[in-house]
Every structure is written in structure tokens, then in C-alpha cells.
């Protein structure tokens, strides 16, 4: 048995302290070597870097990164988070350079800094090359004009259902305002469950699904420690249950579509086309089913749709209300346009053609998304050393954050001003400054469902302004950005609502749906 003498114990302690000091010094050198001349923190905390400040106050963290990036002509800045060197990009052209080089020898799209632990490896976010192209081709039938017209029906039904609930809640606690964020979240989750899954998710299954999705969402804003009982692990495990539920819905849809029934939701359009490919493969003598056609695979990729559609749209709904409240002249023009093509008393749904005719309302929706793109930044990882500029090379393994928000405030005429007319046929800033409009991403991973998302926002703005009178309780910091994880108003959009129309429209489908 070896006994440590006081002298040897002192030596061991000194050696340990020396090792720690050496590690701290090595990490600082490692950071400085990668940062080189670009602006960033002078010193970084060992291993954790600035991860704690990012989790505690993301608004302050990103505001500082933006300030640093603005301090040089390069438009980039550096930081260090949980052992990862970080490059933040505010310059539009450099952001496009990242989006255009998602490949094994360029940048790997991650969507979320610790996403692989949360989402799992087999996720559309992490695909690239031909496999990614093949999957996007199979997803395309979900967003044809015919499919979108089906979704427009359900979108109006869900919006009306929740607007009526919102008004009742507001009247109950009048004159006190109520926060809209959680209500908008409930609306949008209800929307996704209905539009994506239709009749395949019963009431009890919905309750479980919503609980699991809440756990998943909580994991986004938690520290990424995957230990029992942590919010991150609870969120990670909830993903397995969510995907299993979606696989079951896929199985039920296949049974219905095999009977030749008409599609009633997104998964039906997906399955209908998948069954066609399976049949063609059989006729061609192929023994294996086409890729991406199993219940588990479709369920997994359908979860990606939920993730992409949920928080991003909640953000847009909240900023739409916030901007409308700030601009009564915009509200007046929207109301005039909408009532010119649709009347609530007609008890008819807004048609796709009428939706297209709402040019100004469409412009308002696009300006909301430009002014406050839901996804502040789109994280990537450098797969290899990548020459971002002539003078700076992004080191392999670096987390790279091209900012969609900062691009929105470059190029456009008076970009700091909320101005829907910039998207008018006369000005066409959406075409002139197209490269700066990165709210839906760019390149191979550009959002495939952007038309669906814009339709929902336009319908919400149209119905919200025509059916409801609203007043926001404003404070000095209410419009500051809160990262939850998409950007939302800091105050969760505190409003007082009341019924504006003589009576709500009565859609037959609403009565059927809410029974």
C-alpha cells in the first residue's frame, strides 16, 4: 500500500495546479490562434467560454456580437462557447457564401448548436448532396397549389377558433392586458397538428404530443447537459416519442390513401405520392422499397416539419401584432383591402384566389418577416478550414452563425423602418434586394414550406385585423428581442382584445371540427 507523505501530496497538488494553468493557457492560445485579427473577447473562460452568458442573457450576448462585427469592414466577429470556436457573420455576401457551400468540404448545416444530440443523426437538417436532393423532391408534393389550397381551409378554421378564444380570455380579465406568446404557441401547434396530421391524431394523443413537444422546446433554451433529469435529456427523449407518434399517423394515412380517398392533410399528400413510388418500384421489379418511404422515416422527417413550422411562425404572429399596433395606418389599409374581397358575414372561407388578390396584406406579411426574421441566425459547422475572405480562413470545427436578421437591415431603403410598401409592384425591393432577404434561408436548405408559412401569416393578419380590435400595452423595452429560441417581443406581446365584427363567420367546417 502506497501512502502519500505530506511532501508528496504537496507535489501532487502543485502538479495539478500547474496542469490546470497549462490547460487554461493552451486554451487561450488555441482561441487566439483561431481568432487572429477579427474582433472578439480578449479572454475566454476555460472550456465553457461564454456559454453561460449566452444561456443567461442571449439578447445581450448577440447584441455584443453584432456590435463587434460592425466594428470592422469584414462584418464578422469571434467568440468561444463550450469548447467551440464561434464565428458570427453579419455581412450578407459572406452569409451567402456559407449557405452556398453546404457540403463535406465546406459547411455542415446544424440548425442548432447542439442539434445532433437533440434531434438525432438521421435528420433532414444534417443531410446534404444527392440524398438531401432526393428527400426534398419527395417532399415537394406537400406544397403544390392543390395541397396549399387544402391547408388554407384548415388554416382559417384554426385561426378563427383561437381568435374567438383569445377575445373571451381578454374580456374576462379586462382591463388588464394578456400575453399572446403562449396563446400564439397553442394556436400554431394546433395548426400544425391539424394541417399536418388531420384525423390521425385523436384528443388523447394530442395531449401527449403537446406535452412532449413542450419538453422538446424547453430543451432548446436549457444548458446542453445530457444527464438524467435535466431539461435537455427530457427534450431528447421526447423526440423519440414524438417520432413514434408521427410514424403511427403515417401508417394510418397509408391505409386510408390505399383505399383511394382524397388527401385531407399534409401527411396524406406525402403518403399518396410515396405509395405511387412504391407501386412503380414493384412494377419495375425492384425488391426493395424506395428510400424515405417507411413509416419510421416519414415520421422522423415529419417531425422536422413540426420543428420548422412551430416556433418560427409563433414569432411572426407576435411581431405582426406588435407592428400593426405601432402602425394604425397599415391596419386601416389592410382592413380596407380585406373587406373589399371578403366579408365575415358571408360565412365563406377566403379562397386562394382572394388570398392572392390581397397584395398589400401580402406585403405586410413579407415586411414582418423581413423586419423580424424568426430565426435570428442559421448555425453551421466548418467541415474543413474554409477561406471566408481573402484575409480570413474559418478554422475547421468552428461554429459559424450567418445572421438572417442583420442581412435584413442591409441594402433595403431605410431598412430600420417598418414599410410594407417596399414590397409593392412599384418599388419591388423584394427583387432589387433579394439577396438580403434571408428569412427563409438560401441555398440547398432554403425553407421548402415558405409559401405555406406566408399563407398562414397573411390569413392571420387579414382575419385578426377585420374580426378584432386590439391595443397593445407598450413599455420602454417591450420590443426588445427575446430569444426563446426564435426572436419574440420581450414582453410576450401584452394586448387587450375585443370583438370588432358584428358577428364571427360561421364556417360549416368549424362546426364539424369543434364537435
pLDDT digits 0-9 by tens, 37-65: 999 988 787 777 787 788 788 889 999 99
Handedness of CA 500, 501, 503, 506 (dihedral sign): negative
The rounded distance, in Å, linking the Cα atoms of 269 and 275 is 10
The rounded distance, in Å, linking the Cα atoms of 155 and 147 is 12
Confidence (pLDDT) at 427:
94
Confidence (pLDDT) at 483:
86
Over the stretch 378-423, which tens digit does the pLDDT of each residue have?
889 999 999 999 999 999 999 999 999 999 999 999 999 999 999 9
Comparing CA positions, the residue from 196, 158, 149 lying closest to residue 514 is: 158
Question: Which position has the higher pLDDT, 220 or 473?
Answer: 473
Is it the case that residue 107 has pLDDT exceeding 50?
Answer: yes
Angle at 198 between CA 193 and CA 199, to 5 degrees: 120
C-alpha grid cell, residue 496 = 387587450
Confidence (pLDDT) at 514:
44
Angle at 336 between CA 330 and CA 339, to 5 degrees: 130
Over the stretch 369-378, which tens digit does the pLDDT of each residue have?
999 999 888 8
Over the stretch 316-357, which tens digit does the pLDDT of each residue have?
999 999 999 999 999 999 999 999 999 988 889 999 999 999
Comparing CA positions, the residue from 426, 427, 409 lying closest to residue 418 is: 409
Which runs of E-coded beta strand occur in 378-459?
Answer: 380-382, 386-387, 393-394, 399-402
- Confirm if 245 and 216 have CB atoms less than 8 A apart: no
Is it the case that residue 508 has pLDDT exceeding 70?
Answer: no
Is it the case that residue 510 has pLDDT exceeding 90?
Answer: no
What Cα–Cα distance (Å) separates residue 20 from each residue in 10, 13, 137, 365? 15, 11, 52, 54
Confidence (pLDDT) at 19:
59
The rounded distance, in Å, linking the Cα atoms of 254 and 295 is 9
Over the stretch 429-472, which tens digit does the pLDDT of each residue have?
989 999 999 998 888 778 888 999 999 999 999 999 999 999 99
The rounded distance, in Å, linking the Cα atoms of 21 and 25 is 6
Is it the case that residue 234 has pLDDT exceeding 50?
Answer: yes
Average pLDDT, the chain: 88
Question: Which position has the higher pLDDT, 129 or 14?
Answer: 129
Confidence (pLDDT) at 20:
63
Over the stretch 15-37, which tens digit does the pLDDT of each residue have?
666 656 656 666 778 888 888 89
Query: Which residues contact residue 471 at a Cβ distance below 8 angstroms, ignoring those fewer than 6 apart?
Result: 177, 325, 495, 496
Confidence (pLDDT) at 396:
94
Confidence (pLDDT) at 141:
87
Which among 295-304, 331-340, 497-506 has the top mean pLDDT?
A: 331-340
The rounded distance, in Å, linking the Cα atoms of 210 and 203 is 11
- Confirm if 213 and 238 have CB atoms less than 8 A apart: yes
C-alpha grid cell, residue 285 = 421489379
Percent of the chain with pLDDT over 90: 58
Is it the case that residue 11 has pLDDT exceeding 70?
Answer: no
The rounded distance, in Å, linking the Cα atoms of 328 and 99 is 37
Confidence (pLDDT) at 513:
47
Confidence (pLDDT) at 8:
67
> Is 447 one of the annotated binding-site residues?
yes
Is it the case that residue 118 has pLDDT exceeding 80?
Answer: no
Is it the case that residue 3 has pLDDT exceeding 70?
Answer: no
Confidence (pLDDT) at 88:
96
The rounded distance, in Å, linking the Cα atoms of 404 and 406 is 6
Handedness of CA 406, 410, 416, 417 (dihedral sign): negative
The rounded distance, in Å, linking the Cα atoms of 82 and 455 is 39
Is it the case that residue 515 has pLDDT exceeding 50?
Answer: no
Helix axes 203-220, 231-258, angle to 10 degrees: 140
Burial (CB < 10 A; 0-12, 13-18, 19+), residue 186, is middle
**Helix (H) or strand (E) segment spanning residue 7:** helix 6-35
Is it the case that residue 9 has pLDDT exceeding 70?
Answer: no
C-alpha grid cell, residue 498 = 375585443
Angle at 231 between CA 229 and CA 237, to 5 degrees: 80
Comparing CA positions, the residue from 311, 263, 271, 268 lying closest to residue 486 is: 311
Confidence (pLDDT) at 93:
95
Beta bridge partners of 109: 380
Q: Compute the half-sphere exposure of residue 416: CA atoms within 13 Å on the CB side of its CA.
A: 0
Is it the case that residue 511 has pLDDT exceeding 80?
Answer: no
- Alpha carbon dihedral 37, 39, 44, 49, in 10-degree steps, equals -120
Structural domains for the chain: 37-116+376-415 (3.30.43.20)
Over the stretch 248-289, which tens digit does the pLDDT of each residue have?
999 999 999 999 999 999 999 999 999 999 999 888 888 888
Burial (CB < 10 A; 0-12, 13-18, 19+), residue 280, is exposed
Confidence (pLDDT) at 288:
82
Handedness of CA 248, 249, 250, 251 (dihedral sign): positive
- Confirm if 257 and 236 have CB atoms less than 8 A apart: no
Amino acid at each position: 500500500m502506497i501512502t502519500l507523505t505530506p511532501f508528496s501530496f504537496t507535489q501532487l497538488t502543485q502538479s495539478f495546479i500547474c496542469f490546470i494553468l497549462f490547460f487554461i493557457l493552451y486554451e487561450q492560445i488555441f482561441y487566439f490562434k483561431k481568432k487572429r485579427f477579427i474582433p472578439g473577447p480578449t479572454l475566454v473562460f476555460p472550456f465553457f467560454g461564454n456559454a453561460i452568458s449566452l444561456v443567461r442573457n442571449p439578447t445581450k450576448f448577440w447584441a455584443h456580437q453584432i456590435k463587434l462585427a460592425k466594428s470592422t469592414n469584414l462584418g464578422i466577429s469571434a467568440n468561444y462557447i463550450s469548447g467551440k470556436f464561434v464565428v458570427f457573420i453579419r455581412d450578407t455576401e459572406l452569409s451567402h457564401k456559407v449557405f452556398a457551400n453546404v457540403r463535406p468540404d465546406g459547411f455542415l448545416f446544424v440548425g442548432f448548436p447542439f442539434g445532433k444530440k437533440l434531434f438525432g443523426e438521421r435528420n433532414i437538417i444534417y443531410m446534404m448532396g444527392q440524398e438531401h436532393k432526393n428527400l426534398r423532391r419527395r417532399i415537394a408534393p406537400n406544397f403544390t397549389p392543390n395541397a396549399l389550397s387544402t391547408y388554407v381551409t384548415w388554416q382559417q378554421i384554426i385561426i378563427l377558433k383561437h381568435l374567438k378564444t383569445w377575445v373571451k380570455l381578454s374580456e374576462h380579465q379586462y382591463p388588464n392586458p394578456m400575453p399572446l406568446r403562449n396563446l400564439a404557441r397553442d394556436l400554431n401547434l394546433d395548426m400544425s397538428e391539424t394541417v399536418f396530421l388531420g384525423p390521425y391524431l385523436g384528443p388523447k394523443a394530442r395531449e401527449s404530443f403537446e406535452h412532449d413537444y413542450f419538453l422538446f422546446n424547453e430543451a432548446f433554451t436549457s444548458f446542453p447537459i445530457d444527464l438524467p433529469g435535466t431539461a435537455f435529456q427530457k427534450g431528447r427523449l421526447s423526440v423519440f416519442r414524438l417520432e413514434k407518434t408521427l410514424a403511427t399517423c403515417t401508417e394510418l394515412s397509408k391505409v386510408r390513401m390505399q383505399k383511394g380517398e382524397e388527401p385531407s392533410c399534409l401527411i396524406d399528400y406525402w403518403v399518396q405520392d410515396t405509395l405511387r413510388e412504391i407501386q412503380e418500384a414493384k412494377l419495375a421489379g425492384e425488391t426493395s422499397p424506395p428510400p424515405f418511404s417507411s413509416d419510421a422515416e416519414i415520421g422522423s422527417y415529419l417531425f422536422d416539419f413540426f420543428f420548422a413550422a412551430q416556433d418560427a411562425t409563433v414569432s411572426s404572429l407576435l411581431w405582426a401584432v406588435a407592428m400593426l399596433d405601432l402602425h394604425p395606418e397599415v391596419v386601416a389599409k389592410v382592413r380596407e383591402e380585406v373587406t373589399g374581397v371578403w366579408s365575415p358575414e358571408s360565412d365563406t372561407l377566403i379562397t386562394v384566389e382572394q388570398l392572392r388578390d390581397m397584395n398589400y396584406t401580402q406585403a405586410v406579411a413579407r415586411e414582418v418577416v423581413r423586419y423580424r426574421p424568426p430565426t435570428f441566425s442559421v448555425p453551421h459547422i466548418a467541415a474543413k478550414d474554409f477561406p471566408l475572405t481573402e484575409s480570413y480562413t474559418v478554422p475547421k470545427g468552428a461554429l459559424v452563425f450567418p445572421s438572417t436578421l442583420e442581412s435584413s437591415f442591409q441594402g433595403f431603403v431605410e431598412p430600420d423602418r417598418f414599410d410594407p410598401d417596399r414590397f409593392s409592384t412599384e418599388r419591388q425591393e423584394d427583387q432589387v434586394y433579394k439577396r438580403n432577404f434571408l428569412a427563409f434561408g438560401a441555398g440547398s436548405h432554403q425553407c421548402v414550406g415558405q409559401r405555406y408559412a406566408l399563407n398562414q401569416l397573411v390569413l392571420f393578419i387579414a382575419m385578426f385585423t377585420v374580426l378584432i380590435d386590439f391595443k397593445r400595452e407598450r413599455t420602454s423595452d417591450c420590443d426588445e428581442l427575446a430569444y426563446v429560441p426564435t426572436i419574440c417581443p420581450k414582453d410576450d406581446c401584452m394586448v387587450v382584445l375585443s370583438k370588432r365584427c358584428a358577428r364571427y363567420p360561421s364556417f360549416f367546417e368549424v362546426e364539424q371540427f369543434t364537435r
